[in-house]
């Protein structure tokens, strides 16, 4: 039987909940946690391993080191601290870049040939910095980007419309941050355009504005942080969905932050866009037609990311 090995850098809230979701869904035979705090990593592993008798398949979970990357199928970057109340994800930029200075040479010194998925914020910037520094193909090194935001917009739309979120098609694009956009022209319920539904129901759905939706999805993460100091469950399931799509070659369309080389008219930037995920990671970038307003908003979001990528290049050089 084929062994599926995932190494997770960072044994904090995000890294351990990624491991938890992967274990519950039996997506990997072997999961390795690496953290600068080795005792914490070992303790997280023991706590997770206590579930062993109650999950559907045997999973070896242990703490390890960078040598484990040599035969890893997927490397998950979840290093760094939690966002603080009042911070944007971009406010975490300098802290995250400092951590990259530590992990990049360590990854380079291994024979890692797998797929790298980065979560660390600011997600678009960190994922692209890793791709460039490690010289990995753009379709095999990317960040979770607007994956979590896309789960959140479905929840928000369910609350506002009453329709079950699994019947709602919606996603976010651009930065995993305050400049992200919800392309309303591609939101649908049961295959029916949400914009058309709004016209048919002016007194109810018609009162929902794109500004409201975008404000709520942008604030969603901070609402959780204010209440409990960190986010963890949503990103854990998002990561496991990506891993599932890779291991099962699902050809699933899912929003990820990938280096753009002309797609959507953008270059020299990584931003959240819908992609096809399969065995080799990202297999295709899906270019959807946007309205003129959505195009302008997406271009602005890319400019925000591009500006921080230039700063990162200077700090990492």
% of the chain with per-residue pLDDT over 90: 98
183-208 average pLDDT score: 96
Give the SS3 label for residue 44. Answer: helix
* Whole-number average pLDDT of the chain: 97
Give the SS3 label for residue 112. Answer: coil
Q: Is the pLDDT of residue 1 over 80?
A: no
Strand 188-189: give its sheet, edge to edge.
168-169, 188-189, 192-193
Q: What's this model's pTM, rounded to 2 decimal places?
A: 0.97
Residue 103: pLDDT band (50, 70, 90) is very high
Quickly tell me which residue has 């206590």 as its tokens: 50
What was the pLDDT predicted at 100?
A: 97
The angle at the Cα of 215, spanning 211 to 220, to the nearest 5 degrees, equals 150
Query: Whole-angstrom Cα distance, residue 230 to residue 251?
Result: 31
pLDDT per residue as tens digits for the range 146-186: 999 999 999 999 999 999 999 999 999 999 999 999 999 99
Residues annotated as catalytic are: 176
Q: Is the pLDDT of residue 112 over 70?
A: yes
289-296 average pLDDT score: 98
56 and 26 Cβ atoms separated by less than 8 Å: yes
What was the pLDDT predicted at 27?
A: 96
Q: Is the pLDDT of residue 137 over 80?
A: yes
pLDDT per residue as tens digits for the range 266-279: 999 999 999 999 99
CA 119, chain centre distance (Å):
5
196 and 206 Cβ atoms separated by less than 8 Å: no
* Cα torsion angle, 66, 68, 72, 74, sign: negative
What was the pLDDT predicted at 56?
A: 85
Query: Whole-angstrom Cα distance, residue 154 to residue 42?
Result: 36
What was the pLDDT predicted at 2?
A: 79
Pairing mode, strands 141-143 and 168-169: unpaired
Strand 141-143: give its sheet, edge to edge.
60-63, 30-34, 5-9, 74-77, 115-118, 141-143, 252-261, 267-278, 281-285
Please tell me whether the peptide bond between 117 and the residue prior to it is cis, using omega within 30 degrees of 0: no
Query: Whole-angstrom Cα distance, residue 113 to residue 61?
Result: 21
Two tokens, residue 105:
């040479």
Query: Whole-angstrom Cα distance, residue 35 to residue 300?
Result: 36
CA distances from 222 to 9, 89, 120, 127, 266 (A): 24, 10, 16, 21, 29
Query: Whole-angstrom Cα distance, residue 267 to residue 286?
Result: 16
Give the SS3 label for residue 271. Answer: strand
pLDDT per residue as tens digits for the range 48-73: 999 988 998 999 999 999 999 999 99
């Amino acid at each position: 039987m084929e062994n599926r090995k995932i190494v997770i850098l960072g044994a904090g809230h995000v890294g351990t909940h990624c491991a938890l979701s992967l274990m519950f869904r039996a997506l990997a035979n072997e999961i390795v946690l690496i953290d600068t705090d080795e005792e914490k990593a070992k303790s997280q592993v023991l706590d997770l391993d206590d579930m062993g008798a109650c999950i559907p398949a045997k999973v070896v979970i242990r703490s390890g080191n960078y040598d484990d990357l040599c035969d890893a199928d997927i490397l998950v970057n979840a290093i760094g601290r939690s966002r603080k109340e009042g911070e944007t994800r971009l406010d975490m930029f300098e802290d995250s870049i400092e951590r990259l200075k530590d992990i990049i040479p360590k990854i380079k010194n291994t024979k890692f040939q797998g797929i790298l998925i980065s979560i660390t914020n600011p997600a678009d910037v960190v994922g692209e910095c890793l791709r460039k520094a490690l010289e990995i193909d753009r379709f095999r090194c990317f960040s979770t980007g607007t994956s979590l935001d896309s789960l959140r917009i479905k929840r928000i739309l369910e609350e506002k419309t009453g329709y079950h979120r699994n019947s709602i098609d919606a996603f976010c694009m651009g930065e995993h941050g305050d400049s992200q956009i919800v392309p309303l022209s591609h939101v649908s319920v049961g295959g029916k355009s949400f914009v058309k539904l709004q016209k048919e129901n002016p007194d109810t759905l018609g009162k929902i504005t794109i500004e409201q939706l975008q404000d709520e999805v942008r604030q969603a993460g901070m609402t959780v942080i204010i209440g409990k100091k960190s986010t963890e469950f949503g990103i854990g399931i998002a990561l496991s969905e990506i891993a599932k799509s890779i291991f099962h070659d699902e050809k699933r369309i899912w929003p990820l932050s990938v280096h753009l080389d002309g797609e959507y008219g953008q270059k020299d930037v990584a931003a959240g866009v819908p992609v096809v995920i399969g065995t080799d990671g990202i297999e295709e970038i899906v270019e959807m037609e946007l309205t003129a307003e959505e195009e302008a908003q997406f271009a602005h979001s890319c400019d925000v990311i591009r500006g921080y990528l230039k700063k990162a290049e200077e700090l990492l050089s």
